Structure 1
């Protein structure tokens, strides 16, 4: 049986996913599931470096004004430019360096 992190790695090696999509695929519902997956992604990013792989991040973007956030493993809540909370989540994928 695979651990949650092993499942995330397997999924991200196939294609890119947002945190919400990963939560649905892993059948994680409820408050805090996004936070858990973000913690897993941070740990996965560190572990991948040892294997010669990298966690690619497509940054979050404001759907209202188009502001592009920094490439970070986090989900912003509001746009610093227009204050909108209509944010496209960052997407993650695993690639070989």
Structure 2
């Protein structure tokens, strides 16, 4: 049986996912599900460096004004430019170097 982080790695090697999509794929529910995924992604990023793989990050983007956030393992709650909460989550994918 695979751990949650091993399952996340397997999913991200196949295609890109947002934290919300990963939570659904892993059947995690509740308010803290995305936070758990974010913490797992941070740990996975460190693990991948040792394996010669890289976690690619498509940054979050404001759907209202188009502001693009820094590519980081974080889901912003509000746009700093227009203050909208209509944010497209960042997307993550694993690739070999």
TM above 0.5: yes
1:46-85 CA distances to partner (integer Å, 9 max, x unpaired)?
A: 0000000000000000000000000000000000000000
- Structure 1 stretches of 4+ with a deviation exceeding 2 A read none
Q: In the TM superposition, what are the counterparts of 1:1-97 in structure 2 within 5 Å? A: 1-97=1-97
Q: Which runs of 5+ in 1 are unaligned?
A: none
How many positions carry a matched residue from both structures?
Answer: 97
Q: Which runs of 5+ in 2 are unaligned?
A: none
Q: CA deviation at 1:31?
A: 1.4
